[in-house]
Each structure stands twice: as C-alpha cells, then as structure tokens.
Structure 1
Amino acid sequence: MSDAIKHECGLAFIRLRKPFSYYQQQYGSVMYGLNKLYLLMEKQHNRGQDGAGIASVKLNVEPGYPFLHRMRSIETRAIADLFSQVGEEIADLEKYQPDIRNHPGLLKGHVRFLGELLLGHLRYGTQGKNNVEFCHPFIKRHTIQSRNLALAGNFNLVNTEELFGLVNIDPGVFQRQSDLAAMMEVVHHFLVMEDELTPGNPDLATVLRKSAKLFDGGYHIGGLVGNGDSFVMRDAHGIRPSYYYISDDVIVAASERAAIRTSFNVGENEVKELMPGQALIVKSDGSYAVEQILEPQERRACSFERIYFSRGNDEKIYRERSQLGYNLRDRVLKSIDYNLKNTIFSFIPNTAEVAFYGMVKGMEDYMNQIKIQRILSWGNDFDEEKLTEMINRKIRMEKIAIKDVKMRTFITEDSSRNEMVQHVYDITYGTVVPGQDTLVVIDDSIVRGTTLKESIVRMLARLKPKKIIVVSSAPQIRYPDCYGIDMSKLGDFIAFRAAIALIKERGMDDLLSRLQAECRELARMGQLHTKNLVKEIYHPFSAEEIAAKVAELITPSDIDFEVEVIFQTIESLHSACPTNTGDWYFTGNYPTPGGNRVVNQAFLNYMEGKNERGY
C-alpha cells in the first residue's frame, strides 16, 4: 500500500492441556507453549508494530504465590524484546542450577511466564497513545483468585463513554483514551457478579452474554481468568477475524488461520473459524465448548483483511487477492485500447504483488484468446517464422517501482520535505520507451493519495511514458472505519477530497451547508447514529467522475502526460472475496449504529476544521 494505514491488531491464545513434563518428553522442551506463542506472534507481526504484550496464568499454584503475570514492550522489535526477557530469566536460573530445564515443576515455579494459559497481543495504536500503558493485555487484580482477569483483543469500540456509565465508573484520563479499559471494566464487573453467585467458578458464558450485548464495535478478544478458565470471542457480525485449533495437547486461537497452520504444522481443515457471536470457552480442567454468546447478525467480515491486512500465505487469501487483480482486466484493456504491445505492467511494492499476478494472468488469458483467433484465421497461410512470432508474444512485465529504505527527515520546510518524500520509492531506468509505452501500476488500495502524488507518480514520470494508469485492487475509500482500522478522518481520504472538489467546481456548496446543519440537529437530538448523511456528498457523482478527479489530484502540476486511476468496483470486490462482505469504508453501509455516528461526527469535524478522530 503506497499510503500506509494502521493494520489490525493481532491476538494469540494458547491453553496447554497436558503437564509440562509431557511437553518435555514429547517435544523435547518444557518451553513448548512459550515457543509456540512466540511463533504465533511472529507469524502475525504484520498486524501490529507499535507494541506487544504477553500474559500467563499458572494452574494449581500454592496459596500466596503469584499466578498471573503480564509483560509489555514498545521496543522496535517488541516481540523479540519480550521473549528475550523470558530467556534471560531462564539463563539466570541456569547459572545456579544448570539442569533446571530437566525439572519442569521447579522451572514452572521460578519462570513467571511458564504458565498453562498464555495470551499474546500485537498492537497498532488506533486509539490512545503509543506508550507501553496502552499495550494489551490489560489486567485486573483481585484478592480472590477467580476475579483476576487478563484481557486483550483486536477491536475498536465506539461507545466507550456509555460503557463506563453502565458500570457506574467515572473514567480517568487514561481510561478515556482506551476502549480496552472500557471493555475490561464491563467484563470484570460481570465476572465479579457471577463469582458472587458461584464462588471460584464463575460462568464465563453468562459473563460474556451480559457484557458483549453492550459493546458497539467489531472485536476478537481473548481473556484469562485467575481460576484457570479462559475464553476467545468474536463479534456478532464477524467483523474481526478469529480462528482456532484444538488437539489433545493444546487449544489455540489467533487472528489469522495461516499463523496457526505454520506454527503447529497442521492442515487448513484442522483450523476452524470461530463464527460470528461465538466464544470458545476453556475450563480450568482443559475441557472446552464453543458457545453462541450473541445471536449472529448479517456477516460483515472486514474485506480489508483479504485485500491488505492478513498475510497472503493463506491459500484462500492468496486466491482472492489474485482474483481482485484478474477482475480489473477488462477495464484496463479498454483503457489501453487493447494495445498490449506498448503497455508495461508493474506493481507498487510490496503488498500489491499478488493482485499484480492476477491482473497479469488476466492479460495473458486475453492474449492467448487473441493468439488462437489469429492463428485460426490464417487457415493454411502461415510458416514457422510467422507462427513462432505469434506464439512468443508475451505480456510486458517489469519491476519498475522499488520501495527504498524507510526515509525519515528532520526537515520541516514543506518544499524540502516534499523533495525528500519523492525518494521513498525509486525506479528501474531503461524499461520504458519514452513517449510510446503506457505504464500500468497496481496498488492494493488508494487511501490518501499523498505518496502517489509526491513520490510514485513523480518518480515514474522520469521514465517519460506516454501515459500512467494507476489501478487500485480496492474500491474508493470514502468513509471512516471505527472497527479496528486507523481511518477516522474524512479529510484524509482522497476520494472524499475529490467529491468536495467536484461540489465546489459545480457550485453546490449549499449541499455541504445543508448536511452540516442536519448533522448538528441530529447531534442535538442524540440521533447521529440513525443514518449516514455523508452518502449524499457522493450521490451526485458517478464512480468514474470521482476517479477522474482523484487522478487529477494525484498528478503533479509539472507532469505533461495523462494520469488515469481505475478503482475496483464493489461488485467485483464481492465476487473475489465472497465471505468477507464488510465494505462500509467503501459504501457507507455500517454494520452497527455506531458507524453512522462516527461518519457524521467526522463530517462535522471536517466542516469545523477539527483535525481529530470521529470517535
């Protein structure tokens, strides 16, 4: 993605079902669980690089000894930092007892994170500051063991203020900035209530049913309870991804199927999807159940997971990203007037590569159809040379855009900073016939358009092509997200800026004034959540008109050739990714009422010149 946006967070959960001595005998290491937790987190490191955290709960600990531990880091390589600290702890023990690894019970007593229940989290800071206090897991400690709780998740909530009120808590400055703090207070509130009814053995299904019905957002959460119970839960719309794997040895859950498959070397069908509104609840004795906590709603799994966020080594995601590229074939062919001889295809590294292969496959299929038609039309009028020339025609592919080192600059002057930004990407010289070849470059999505204008298009222009076509494997991003992605300000979206530009060009400013007045009235009545008024901004214009204006906005003023932008359609997106139909950032059709409130508030913020989040 040329304009990077914050990824989803990542969750890793492990419940060991056997004694530590078993893992030492079976797998050669008492550290089996921690090693697997490390793998699960590293295989999802794409999901969060602002920080990481781990928590553990130990079973059957003697009274008076700690059983719940938590460690977090915001170091550059946070996962490695966490597990190196665990390693140093063991190394210090080995100085005094070199064979301590051969004594699982003794090692468990001295290594804080050698617990049967393990929870890991990778954080991208969407709400809250990027310091260690905001890293998951959060913990609530209590003198009663079964009222201790560690909680982490991949989610955003849009009703945190209401949640604090529901449990009669006046949040502090820190709590107001963290939706996990609000979720933690609610879950812990009902955990304590249930523990009062059945001391030492609270019913987690009841706790989750009472808690989750209050949450407005998308979430995949994991929790460890001090008595040895644990859970993983997914929101009722299935917005955030959730997968699990169960064997006689372990119970595992994570945000990505491929991470579990790789870490435990298991087949695709062995890893199950936790369905919308369900929770995987594991008791302290290692037994488990998948409970329907919330009535499942219309499935609105995030389509950005398939386009960009999740790692592409999942076979289904790989196929879907390839199909996204393939689906753009006909529109690109029309744009280049079917002139493949003078067209070069490339991609904007690195996440658009799979969609690029799909687009090229589409071009190859088209070219092969043309070859067959031409050869058949010759009848017997051909020779070896003519046939060889036709068969050897190929799609022209080049790696033209190269992502260079991550450049940072101390320069604050805008003109100088823009000069530096140009060099985030470099180009491969000598690949284009100046004034003759068209360049087609595919990106997985276009969010702000800043890097396209200031770096990519400007750099590609040095090759002096006849035309540049920028292709997006995602549709136009028009609306904020409030369920996990850090896209909350309308003014950041180039599609929104394009629509505003068209409104001003056509003298339709009264539309903005009217919508602002309507938003204010809805806010006054506490009804911002009832409908998405921002849809009306796009209504007067076709998708092609907005795409044309986007192309104009990303074209530097000193470029003297045409730049075109082609976006994926909503229909072709859903045909490529049929199980992930969540598309509210493209269509404005939010799965929960909180989404409408966020988009309307974001519009008010834009109109009032406030550079702040919509929730």
Structure 2
Amino acid sequence: MTEASSPHPDSDDFMFDPNEDKIREECGVFGIFGMDNAASLTALGLHALQHRGQEACGIASFDGAKFHSERHLGLVGDNFTGADPSERLPGHISIGHNRYSTAGQTVLRNVQPLFSELHMGGFALAHNGHITNAYTIREQLVEKGALFQSTSDTEVVIHLIARAKKGEFIDRFVNAIRQVDGGYAFIGMTKDMLLGARDRFGIRPLLIGRLGDSYILASETCAFDMIGATFIREVEAGEVVVINADGIRSFTAFPNAKSRPCIFEFVYFARPDSIVSGKSVYEVRKRMGHRLAQETPADVDVIIPVPDSGVPAALGFAQETGVPFELGIIRNHYVGRTFIQPTQQIRDMGVRLKHSANRSMIEGKRVLLVDDSIVRGTTSTKIVRMIKAAGAKEVHFRSASPPIKHPDHYGIDMPSKDKLIAANYDLKAMTEMLEVDSLGFLSVEGLYWAMGETERLADEPQFTDHCFTGDYPTPLIDRDRDASGVSKQLSFLVEVA
C-alpha cells in the first residue's frame, strides 16, 4: 500500500472519510519457503496481519511446475477459509499481502502480490510502503514504451527488474531497488527463491522467522506466533535476504544504511502483542501513558481509553496516577467501512456505530479520555459529545503521541497538512474545537523516553518521526515535483497499491 500511488488530494477521485479521525493502517506481507502447505500457512499469517489492511488480500505460490495466484477484495477470512488454501494454491513457496487502500477505488488489478512473466522466469512481488520517486520513474518508463498493467507504484520495481541488461536475478533486483527511494518492505518469489528487502533506513518493518527447516518473512512477529514459528531477527535496514534450498543469504543493497524505523509502528500500527525493534509494542504504549500522566496531569475521577488503540496508554496513565481505569466506551467490532450514510443526520451519528458510552462508568464523573493520536479531530469531537451525553461532569482528552503536524509519505494514509488539526491550530484553539475541559499531548521527548531512549538525537534521530517533527529521512521527489507544478501527467492514473 502506498500514499504515492493514491490520487492526489486535488484529484476528483481523492476520498478521505471526513468522519474518520484515525490514520489508516499500512499493508502487511508474509512469505514462506520450504513447506508443502505454504499457502495455508501464508493465509494464517495474513490473518494475524489483518489489522494492517482490510480491503483486499492475495496469495501466490509455486508448486515446482507452475505458479498459482489468487487475489480478492475483502478480508482474508472471507476468501481463504473453508477448503485448504493449499489445495487451490499448491506449492512449497508462497507469499501473501493484505492491502488497505488509502483513497480512490479499490480494484482487483491493484491487489497484490503482482505477478509477471519475465524473461528469466515468473516473479511475484508484494510491497508495504511508498516509493517517493515512483511518479518520476514511471513517467520515464512510459516514455520509453513501458506498458503498465496496474496503477501501483509496486509495478515500477518489476519494470526496473525486467529492463536490467545483465546479471543474476538477485543482481537485477538489487539494481532495481537502488533506483527507488522512500520507505518500503518488499517480499518477492521466483520458482526457486523467496526474497525480502527493506529500504535504506528500515522505515517499514520486515522480519525473519523459522518453522522447522523453513524460513519465513513477515511484517510483524504476531504472524510467527500464529503458525508456531520462531522469530530469528529483523531484516536490517538496506538489506536484501534470499531464501532458497541452500538456506538464507544476505546482500547489502545500501552499504551506508542507517536504521531509522517508523515510530508510528509503536504509536498505532503494530499489534500490541508484536515485538518491533526488540521492544514489546504493548509495553512501549503503556510507557507512553505513564509519561503522558507525568507531563499532562488532570484532576479526574476515571481514566477511559478510546478503544482499541488507546487502551495500553490509558492503562499506563491510570497506573501512574492511581486513578481508576474503566472501559467507559464499548466498541462494536462488527461494523464495516461500507455502511451507507445517506444523510447528514445519519453521518453525524456514525460514531455510535463503532462506539457506545458505558453510562454507569461515566455519569456524574470527571472523565479523562486517552487515545493514541489525534488526526483531524472529527471523531474525537464526536466521542467527547457522546461522553457528555452520557452524563459526564467534565471531559478531558489526552493524546499518547505528540501533535501530528506533517503528512506521511512512506505508506501511511494521512490527510494533507491543511487537514491536520495540530498543524493549523494552537492548543487553546484545539481544546475549544474538541469541546473538552483540557487537552494534552505527549511530547516528542516523552515519546523517545517511552521507547527507552534518553533523548532524541537531533543530528541522527533514532526513529523516523516526521509526522511530529517534519524531519523526513529521504528525498520526496514526486511531492516536490508536483508542488512545483513540473509534472502531474500521470496523476489521473494513480490509485492505490
């Protein structure tokens, strides 16, 4: 999935739900080599990674004679359950992908893994992230006669591999990713190898696991837990790994790589039971809550999380202060994104489809709401009104992350800067807009403290934190070209990967 391959904000096809105040998930990838039922294990791995993408899913496999592929719109459980997926997708090598479109129409041709017959054989590729020079490269390839079958920036890499003039497949792959920039985790498959790669800063996650004699690649450790595999290590920043019958080999695509993983994996994206960069996501989020309580205390009667992502931080806040933690908001897990909202009145009630106030925990009390972040402020305001309607005496709000002031360009669906509430208003104005008695955010320093760092290193930050600081680790070539009006020739083609 990639923001770069979604329509531009000025496109007629650009759609971001104005009622949504959450950053959209990224995508999830999974691959395994050396198991006869590889596709079945891939389906299970994608189940574990479902939180990273809920709009489409796909699996490809190779059985020793030919490639097999299925791509579907919808959830993994709606498409790869019932009969054993390995019966439809036989083979000992398999890769899979969960997709979350950031905007525009979800169409089957963009669902991954993408598959192509190259002159050196079949190749399937899946991608989590965003290539920040995809427009520029695609424009050059089209001028040279390239024919694209999808509107995904992932396909750019396939074209670069196909056009490489010499070398073994892995050499062509390394040469291709050296031409792209941004934040990405690639997972690919040929007839005799599984390969994975991370960008030179390791912005997007990719990990190595093992099940018996088989190696596995996945976006998070929770996918290993699902199938009983053992976590070995992360793919390093700028590293390419190749897994085949001889084992696993490592290649250095970017010799001067500097690890700087995305800090938003800890704030929101990763599942709480995952281990990222050697740290428990759950424990880090609790520490965010502890530090938030220290930095922005409030005289309240009860701490209530905004489910589900606000729960660990709210628990940490409660433990730090001694104020009771209660589930004052009950989430409905059975509401999909496609619920029809025909009138403004119904749209205004939309938050109640997902959240209901637990009146017995709220009425007559001074309530502190804790959420992982605030994006636009729209849903936050509706939740505040819901809590007030349930009889709260006061409502205070705390964000377990710093103010989001800058859009993402590495695969996260986030509105443009003019839609980010913290980028356009000061604390007093935001407090009034959210209709709360007080509002507070975790500081950048506090976020790094929660990550176990004594401070943020200004010259070489330990994490990619551009949403809070504006410090983008890579060039944003396509964004800068579009901002200058140099080229928007292909923007009407671009949807979502």
TM over 0.5: yes
Deviations 1:501-542 (A, max 9, x none): xxxxxxxxxxxxxxxxxxxxxxxxxxxxxxxxxxxxxxxxxx
- The correspondence for 1:280, drawn from 230, 241, 248, is 241
Does 2:183 match 1:218?
Answer: yes
**Cα distance between partner residues in 1 of 2:307 and 2:172:** 45
Q: More relative contact order in 1 or in 2 (CA 8 Å, sep 6+)?
A: 2
Residue 84 of structure 1 and its aligned partner are, at CA, apart by: 4.0
Q: Quickly say closer, same or farther: Cα 1:612–1:473, change in 2 above 3 A.
A: farther
**Cα distance between partner residues in 2 of 1:601 and 1:614:** 16
SS at match of 1:120: strand
Deviations 1:144-194 (A, max 9, x none): 5x332111111111212322355464466864x31112122112322xx33
Query: Which stretches in structure 2 are left out of the alignment for 5+ residues?
Result: 1-18, 454-461, 486-490
The residue that corresponds to 2:4 in the other structure is none
Deviations 1:245-299 (A, max 9, x none): 2465201010002321342243xxx42111100011124x333201111124332
Query: Which stretches in structure 1 are left out of the alignment for 5+ residues?
Result: 21-30, 62-66, 91-111, 337-341, 365-394, 499-545, 556-561, 605-609
The residue that corresponds to 2:330 in the other structure is 402
Residue 448 of structure 1 and its aligned partner are, at CA, apart by: 1.3
Alignment of 1:73-152 (within 5 A): 73-75=72-74, 77-84=75-82, 87=85, 90=87, 113-126=89-102, 129-142=105-118, 144=119, 146-152=120-126
Q: Which amino acid aligns with 2:411?
A: G
Does 2:174 match 1:209?
Answer: yes
Q: Which amino acid aligns with 1:477?
A: I
Residue 547 of structure 1 and its aligned partner are, at CA, apart by: 2.3
The residue that corresponds to 2:488 in the other structure is none
Alignment of 1:47-446 (within 5 A): 47-59=52-64, 61=65, 67-75=66-74, 77-84=75-82, 87=85, 90=87, 113-126=89-102, 129-142=105-118, 144=119, 146-167=120-141, 169-170=144-145, 175=150, 177-190=151-164, 193-194=165-166, 202-204=168-170, 206-226=171-191, 228-246=192-210, 249-266=213-230, 270-283=231-244, 285-314=245-274, 316-333=280-297, 335-336=298-299, 342-364=300-322, 395-404=323-332, 406=335, 410-421=340-351, 424-432=354-362, 434=364, 437-446=365-374
The residue that corresponds to 2:431 in the other structure is 551
Q: Quickly say closer, same or farther: Cα 1:327–1:14, change in 2 above 3 A.
A: same
Residue 330 of structure 1 and its aligned partner are, at CA, apart by: 1.8
Q: Quickly say closer, same or farther: Cα 1:418–1:613, change in 2 above 3 A.
A: farther
**Cα distance between partner residues in 2 of 1:188 and 1:320:** 43
**Cα distance between partner residues in 2 of 1:611 and 1:467:** 48
Residue 459 of structure 1 and its aligned partner are, at CA, apart by: 0.8
Residue 328 of structure 1 and its aligned partner are, at CA, apart by: 0.7
Q: Which amino acid aligns with 1:245?
A: G
- The correspondence for 1:460, drawn from 384, 387, 392, is 387
Q: Which amino acid aligns with 1:4?
A: K
The residue that corresponds to 2:469 in the other structure is 587
The residue that corresponds to 1:569 in the other structure is 443
Q: Which amino acid aligns with 2:58?
A: G
- The question of whether the paired residues in 1 share the 8 Å contact of 2:240 and 2:251 is answered with yes
Q: Quickly say closer, same or farther: Cα 1:213–1:3, change in 2 above 3 A.
A: same
- The correspondence for 2:422, drawn from 487, 495, 505, is 495
Q: Quickly say closer, same or farther: Cα 1:58–1:420, change in 2 above 3 A.
A: closer
The residue that corresponds to 1:515 in the other structure is none
The residue that corresponds to 1:473 in the other structure is 400
**Cα distance between partner residues in 2 of 1:598 and 1:495:** 21
Q: Which amino acid aligns with 2:370?
A: I
The residue that corresponds to 1:533 in the other structure is none
Residue 331 of structure 1 and its aligned partner are, at CA, apart by: 2.9
Q: Which amino acid aligns with 1:396?
A: P
**Cα distance between partner residues in 2 of 1:257 and 1:322:** 19
Aligned residues: 458
Does 2:379 match 1:451?
Answer: yes
Higher strand share: 2
Residue range with higher mean Cα deviation, 47-56 or 153-162: 153-162
SS at match of 2:476: helix
Q: Which amino acid aligns with 1:208?
A: F
Q: Which amino acid aligns with 1:163?
A: I
TM-score, normalising length from structure 2? Answer: 0.84
Does 2:472 match 1:598?
Answer: no
Higher helix share: 1
- The question of whether the paired residues in 2 share the 8 Å contact of 1:303 and 1:582 is answered with yes
Q: Which amino acid aligns with 2:272?
A: G
Q: Which amino acid aligns with 1:547?
A: L
Q: Quickly say closer, same or farther: Cα 1:9–1:411, change in 2 above 3 A.
A: closer
Q: Which amino acid aligns with 1:3?
A: D
